[in-house]
Amino acid sequence: MEIVEFAPEHAEAFRTLNEAWISKYFTLEAKDRQVLGDPQGKIIAKGGRIFMAIEAGEAVGCVALLKMADGGYEVAKMTVSETLRGSGLGRLLMQRCIAAGAEDGVPRLYLETNSSLAPALALYRTMGFQHLAPAETEYVRADVFMERRY
Domain boundaries, the chain: 2-107
Rounded (10°) CA dihedral 76, 97, 20, 85: -140
Q: Please tell me the predicted confidence (pLDDT) of residue 16.
A: 97
CB of 11 closer than 8 Å to CB of 40: yes
**Longest alpha-carbon distance in the chain:** 41
Q: Please tell me the predicted confidence (pLDDT) of residue 86.
A: 84
Q: Please tell me the predicted confidence (pLDDT) of residue 95.
A: 98
Sheet containing 58-67: which strands, arranged edge to edge?
2-5, 49-55, 58-67, 73-80, 108-113, 144-149, 130-131
Q: What is the pLDDT of residues 94-117, one digit of tens each?
A: 999 999 999 999 999 999 999 999
Q: What is the pLDDT of residues 23-70, one digit of tens each?
A: 999 999 999 999 999 999 999 999 999 999 999 999 999 999 999 999
Q: What's the chain's average pLDDT? A: 96
pLDDT of 143 > 90? The answer is yes
Stretch 76-82: mean pLDDT, rounded? 95
For strand 108-113 and strand 49-55, is the pairing parallel, antiparallel, or unpaired?
unpaired
Please, how many CA atoms are within 13 Å of residue 19, restricted to the half-sphere of its CB? 12
Stretch 117-137: mean pLDDT, rounded? 95
pTM of the model: 0.96
Q: Which CATH class is domain 2-107?
A: alpha beta
Q: Please tell me the predicted confidence (pLDDT) of residue 36.
A: 97
Q: Please tell me the predicted confidence (pLDDT) of residue 70.
A: 97
pLDDT of 130 > 90? The answer is yes
What string of DSSP letters covers 80-113? Answer: E-GGGTTTTHHHHHHHHHHHHHHHHT-SEEEEEE
